[in-house]
């Protein structure tokens, strides 16, 4: 299936208009991480390289068609001395399917602190995830065959008291990536939509639901590499009215907190005549 370079490829049509590449996919709708990643790449192309993206906030408005490319319109909201802001709208067939605001920062000095990384088994100790999957799930995993994704068994998750639902996932891109930090940021933006909604289904795995990302916010906190192991420490504080709220902290192998993510997703009961979405 598509490499991350293919999934994030965009073509400049006009000064602030870009077209994302159409990539081979088995999914019935365009993967949300691909739309978010292409939108972020589009925003980056309009910003001076001395500014680094530090946050994004996106809304998935309509399901994208993987058979069609997406066009991205970038609005230059603000160009300041320390911060730059861009708004990006992803469009298919004349309709907005995604909108995102991205903020860029030139970088400053100041106080520092971070949460402690949970103590979890190393990624190599987690069994190959493809070994115990059904044929249907193996077919779905082909969509992300260039990623190594290892979900910790629930008995090995570091559970924190008072949290309703937790999940922990080791992941990395399998192939070496360029040293350019923005490549790793956009790759992580693509990946951050994987597995997170699943933390809202940990307590409800036997309940068939229709699943989809609704909105997605992300903060990039420290340098990292997406082609090295990262721990996605996820939890879901609430599920109600067919929506699941999820959050995740991403750590590197040295324990550095490199990113934080919050997402709300659709996890409603399957309506008559509607096939359930793929397991989140």
Catalytic residue among 193, 227, 233, 252: 193
pLDDT digits (tens, 9 = 90+) for 104-121: 999 889 999 999 999 999
pLDDT computed for residue 280 by the predictor = 44
Q: Collapsing DSSP states into helix, strand and coil, what is residue 224? A: coil
CB burial of residue 173 (10 Å; 0-12, 13-18, 19+): buried
pLDDT computed for residue 279 by the predictor = 44
Query: Does the annotation count 167 as an active-site position?
Result: no
Catalytic residue among 213, 234, 236, 260: 213
Q: Which 8-state DSSP code applies to residue 227?
A: T
Query: Does the annotation count 193 as an active-site position?
Result: yes
DSSP line for 12-48: EEETTEEEEPP----SSS--HHHHHHHHHHHHHTTS-
Q: How far apart are CA 250 and CA 124, in angstroms?
A: 18
- β-strand partners of 18: 12, 72
DSSP line for 124-180: GGSPPTTTT--HHHHHHHGGGTTEEEEEPPGGGS-PPTT-S-EEEEEEEESS---S-
Cβ atoms of 245 and 264 within 8 Å: the answer is yes
With a cut of 70, list the residues of the chain below it in pLDDT: 129-137, 139-140, 272-280
Cβ atoms of 218 and 192 within 8 Å: the answer is yes
25 to 141, 158, 159, 173: CA distances (angstroms)? 11, 34, 35, 18
What is the set of domains in the chain, with CATH numbers?
1-106 (3.10.129.10), 128-280 (3.10.129.10)
pLDDT computed for residue 140 by the predictor = 61
- β-strand partners of 210: 268
Query: Does the annotation count 166 as an active-site position?
Result: no
Catalytic residue among 73, 199, 236, 263: 263
pLDDT computed for residue 275 by the predictor = 53
pLDDT computed for residue 263 by the predictor = 95
């Amino acid at each position: 299936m598509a490499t991350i370079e293919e999934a994030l490829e965009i073509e400049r049509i006009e000064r602030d208009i870009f077209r994302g590449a159409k990539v081979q996919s088995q999914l019935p709708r365009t993967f949300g991480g691909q739309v978010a990643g292409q939108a972020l790449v589009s925003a980056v192309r309009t910003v001076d390289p001395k500014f680094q993206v530090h946050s994004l906030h996106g809304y998935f408005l309509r399901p994208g068609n993987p058979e069609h490319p997406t066009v991205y319109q970038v609005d230059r909201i603000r160009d300041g001395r320390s911060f730059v802001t861009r708004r990006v709208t992803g469009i298919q067939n004349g309709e907005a399917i995604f909108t995102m605001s991205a903020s860029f920062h030139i970088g400053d000095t100041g106080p520092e602190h971070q949460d402690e990384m949970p103590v979890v088994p190393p990624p190599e100790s987690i069994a190959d995830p493809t070994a115990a999957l059904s044929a249907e799930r193996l077919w779905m995993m082909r969509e992300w065959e260039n990623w190594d994704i290892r979900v910790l068994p629930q008995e090995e998750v570091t559970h924190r008291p008072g949290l309703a639902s937790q999940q922990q996932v080791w992941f990395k891109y399998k192939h070496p990536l360029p040293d350019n930090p923005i490549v790793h940021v956009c790759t992580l933006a693509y990946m951050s939509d994987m597995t997170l909604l699943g933390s809202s289904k940990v307590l409800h795995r036997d309940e068939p639901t229709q699943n989809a990302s609704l909105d997605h916010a992300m903060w990039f906190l420290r340098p990292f590499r997406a082609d090295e192991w990262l721990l996605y420490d996820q939890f879901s504080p609430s599920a109600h009215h067919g929506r699941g709220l999820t959050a995740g902290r991403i750590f590197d192998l040295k324990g550095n907190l490199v990113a934080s993510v919050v997402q709300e997703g659709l996890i409603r009961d399957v309506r008559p005549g509607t096939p359930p979405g793929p397991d989140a």
